[in-house]
Homo-oligomer: A and B are copies of this chain.
């Protein structure tokens, strides 16, 4: 490792001193980044304003409009070269009144449950009541077939796998239930769909998230049930297979509208037309405060520019913070940004996304060439003092993924994600659940990587 560290690093710089001096200089600068962020950091206060003065901010909502103005004004507080908006077309879906759900197995008695409409769901058009059929998978649903499903509500009761240490993998393993479950249920004639919330916590929070209707099938109302209520419903069904489930939601889709990505920039001194970007998504789901998802990625990205600027760093490449709009429900911000870059022949050297929550950073995932990955691995010693130890190939970020080409290196901040899905897409994703130092450690780690990328240009090595 150390040998590679020396040789690769030396090879990527115009050296006026020897390699050891360069390493010492870089280590010292990285130390100054962490110190700046941990002592003068403004990301925690910025997050407080975003969560408390604006709150949740689904793309298409008025709160998202406010967040765009806030993003622009916040970036303008710092001495950057430029702050701009990039128009993006986004969907506009409105939850409407608070949802109600309950089940009943005897006259004049109901058990109320915590539910939340899945993003994009149609409404119930008044109270929808029906018998319910419980399954754990699409295979089980298929086996039941139309005969046993038609006219009923399908209840997908599949928990995330607690045995997976990486909670993101556990989420990935259950994700298709939310994304495709409602249309799969409709395929067999179901009139509604209820899923167990995608969370590892046992509590009364219902977790929303986008569902995608299959255009060739009827659109049926779909909601998530809290994990505690899913367990209670499942137990009740064992005793009373003919119980009825009722829910009432008046969510509705409206025509698409225009919002914007917000972009702050420090112009590069050597390669002003080539970009290294840091980003997250400004939109959130429409319950809770969108604190960890992804307010933290937004304020960390802004903090990278603030800290670089406060330290008087003059980057060789242009450094941008991009606050993408609408990651949650179609990735319009990321797609629009990448399309614009391609159409205008703009070169992106590297992109870093933070969208795993504002927890203690553990390292970086990367999409790029073998040579670029070897370079990342060679930088591991720089991060050792800050307890980052995971440098691996894998997912970078939904917003930056559309930039993928033969040149750009894409990075995702890896954080300690044991508690992420306790909050994710729920009313529990609040500012109070973000820790200042953990947030700052992530921001500093992103800035440190930006520095190394800027110094090296992360060339496409053979």
Which A residues are within 8 Å of any B CB, using their own CB?
Answer: 34-35, 38-39, 162-163, 165, 167, 200-202, 360, 362, 385-387, 389-390, 416, 418-419, 422, 435-438, 441
Contacts and interface: CB of A to CB of B under 8 A. Distances in A.
Contacts of A437: 162, 167, 200, 418-419
B201 A386 contact: no
A418 B435 contact: yes
B416 A416 contact: yes
A441 B419 CA distance: 12
A1 to B, nearest CB: 11
Contact of A34 (B165, B200, B360): B165
A385 B360 CA distance: 18
A162 B38 contact: yes
Copies per assembly: 2
Interface centre among A34, A200, A418, A419 (most CB of B within 10 A): A418
Contacts of A162: 38-39, 437
A365 to B, nearest CB: 14
A165 B386 contact: yes
Contacts of A39: 162-163
Contacts of A167: 437
Contacts of A163: 34-35, 38-39
A455 to B, nearest CB: 22
Contacts of A438: 418-419
29 contacts: A34-B165, A35-B163, A38-B162, A38-B163, A39-B162, A39-B163, A162-B437, A165-B385, A165-B386, A165-B387, A167-B437, A200-B437, A201-B436, A202-B436, A360-B360, A360-B416, A360-B418, A362-B387, A387-B390, A387-B416, A389-B389, A416-B416, A418-B435, A418-B437, A418-B438, A418-B441, A419-B435, A419-B437, A422-B435
Contacts of A362: 387
Contacts of A435: 418-419, 422
A436 B362 CA distance: 20
Contacts of A165: 34, 385-387, 441
A410 to B, nearest CB: 22
Contacts of A201: 436
Contacts of A390: 387
Contacts of A418: 360, 435, 437-438, 441
Nearest to A39: B162
Given A165-B441, A422-B435, 12 more contacts: A34-B163, A35-B163, A38-B162, A39-B162, A162-B437, A165-B385, A165-B386, A165-B387, A418-B435, A418-B437, A419-B435, A419-B438
Contacts of A386: 165
Contacts of A200: 437
A438 B420 CA distance: 11
A423 to B, nearest CB: 10
A203 to B, nearest CB: 10
A188 to B, nearest CB: 31
A322 to B, nearest CB: 27
A360 to B, nearest CB: 5
A42 to B, nearest CB: 13
Contacts of A419: 435, 437-438
Contacts of A360: 360, 416, 418
A438 B200 CA distance: 12
Q: Which 10 A-B pairs have the closest CB atoms?
A: A418-B437, A419-B435, A389-B389, A418-B438, A35-B163, A38-B162, A360-B416, A39-B162, A360-B418, A165-B386
Nearest to A167: B437
A3 to B, nearest CB: 16
Interface centre among A167, A202, A360, A390 (most CB of B within 10 A): A360
A390 B360 CA distance: 15
A438 B167 CA distance: 12
A167 B441 CA distance: 12
Contacts of A387: 165, 362, 390, 416
A58 to B, nearest CB: 27
